[in-house]
Amino acid sequence: MTEKLGILAIGHGSKLPYNKEVVTKIANYIAKKHSDVVVRAGFMENSEPTLDEAIAGFSGTGVTKIAAVPVFLASGVHITQDIPEILGLDEKGCGNLTIDGKTVPLCYAKPLGADELIADLVYKRVEEVL
């Protein structure tokens, strides 16, 4: 069987539309760059789709495994407690979802964190403003 990857990009959400727009654009960039991957964005609060709604969006896509990726810079309560609980993850950060009557493994990635790519982006923003 051929594997088909799904990516669940998880955003915080906000009452203001900008947060949703940013996370959705990031998910769209991933999908455009990796056309063989199914990408869905879901939000913790104040934005839609919710995580449950985003997961339901994998129905009919044929995904065989999913990586859940928090689009957050650093860990906090949502990252360490809320999201793992919602996704039903074990202590290693993995679990299973049922999609179209099939068990689909899901593993949870780390937040973006400190990375040279983030540092390059910060410097790019400095150059833009100056």
Positions annotated as catalytic residues are: 12
Whether 78 and 72 have beta carbons less than 8 Å apart is answered as yes
Integer distance in angstroms from the first to the last C-alpha of the chain?
52
* Beta carbons of 83 and 11 less than 8 angstroms apart: no
| Predicted TM-score of the model (pTM) | 0.94
SS3 57: coil
Helix (H, G, I), strand (E, B) or coil at 42: strand
Host H or E run for residue 95? strand 94-99
List the pLDDT tens digit at each of the 130 positions of the chain: 689 999 999 999 999 999 999 999 999 999 999 999 999 999 999 999 999 999 999 999 999 999 999 999 999 999 999 999 999 999 999 999 999 999 999 999 999 999 999 999 999 999 999 9
